[in-house]
A = this chain, B = another copy of it.
Amino acid sequence: MQLVTLDEIYDAATRIAGVAVRTPLLASPWPGLWLKPEGLQPIGAFKIRGAMTAMSRLDPELRARGVLAHSSGNHAQAVAYAAREFGVDAHIVIPDNAPDLKVAATRALGATVELVPVEQRFSRPAELAAETGKAMIAPFDDRNVIAGQGTIGLEIAQDWTGPSPLRTVLVPVSGGGLVSGIAAALAALMPDVAVIGVEPELAGDAADSFRSGERKAWKPADTARTIADGLRTFTVGELPWEHIRAQVADIITVTEDEIIDSTRRLALQARLVAEPSGAVATAAWLHHRAQLADGNAVAIVSGGNIDPAVLRRVLDA
């Protein structure tokens, strides 16, 4: 399987320009750590980059029929937003245990939302694709989506002006699209930087896979335990797995308490509202320094779509 190339990432950058925000690289309140605040994207998460890239590369006639997607979270909003940009319909299948906030936000963007029982979350979209001939925008296991997420790596390489070399980039891992894109960009542009994936301990399938050398799947009931609702995917994708094996230096895990602490400190000290999934990379830096190389790091704060009740709980922790 051919890895995503730097050329594909440069191409993606031209396709997302003017829709995705070119987020700044922020010095954090914690010396040595910089933050890439993807919660500032229009839909509150990095997913807009991949969805726009994939939509943009569709054949225009196919795209005009409308698109399909399945997601329990930010990918749904990203596809809905991108579809609206192109003036086409989006039909999104969402499992009925998804956070209300994310369902409502997807509907508000004009998408048709179909709630299905969790066990139908893959079969129903496949059925729809067969019936309608519409294109499916995949959440992570797709080279255009990976190239789109990779624009974050491109921007880090362009914007790094720290006082000494960048050593580490910390990236949340769920299906692996984000870490793959960033690793692909930095393998070409900053080959001395270690790209490190971060997962909740309770949804540590990618760390497990990395350590064992083979792609593992966890039980969905197990990965569902973490507060980080965006990182409950129970296995990384096939193409992401190839990137992880070739270009990712390590995958480390963080605890629920560390995620909550980091979400709180991002809000109160860095003034960024992060969802728990968006805080895991920061948690790795705040709580697992011994596992990282000395020197400067960037943490991707991947999204900010947090339920108000969860934010209150986090602030009270």
Interface residues of A (CB under 8 A from B): 18, 21-24, 26-27, 37, 39-40, 42, 44, 161, 267-268, 271-274, 304-305, 308, 311-312, 315-316
Contacts and interface: CB of A to CB of B under 8 A. Distances in A.
A302 to B, nearest CB: 12
Nearest to A316: B312
A199 to B, nearest CB: 22
24 contacts: A18-B161, A21-B24, A21-B26, A22-B24, A23-B24, A24-B40, A26-B40, A37-B40, A40-B271, A44-B271, A267-B267, A267-B273, A267-B311, A268-B273, A268-B308, A268-B311, A271-B305, A272-B272, A272-B273, A273-B273, A311-B315, A312-B312, A312-B315, A315-B315
Per assembly, the copies of the chain total 2
A18 B162 CA distance: 9
A271 B39 CA distance: 7
Contacts of A161: 18
A272 B272 CA distance: 6
Q: Pick the 5 closest A-B CB pairs, nearest first.
A: A271-B304, A271-B273, A39-B271, A312-B315, A268-B308
A274 to B, nearest CB: 8
Contacts of A24: 21-24, 40
A37 B41 CA distance: 13
Contacts of A272: 40, 271-273
A26 B272 CA distance: 14
A98 to B, nearest CB: 18
Contacts of A311: 267-268, 315
A25 to B, nearest CB: 9
Contacts of A305: 271
A23 B272 CA distance: 14
Nearest to A309: B315
Contacts of A304: 271
Contacts of A40: 24, 26, 37, 271-272
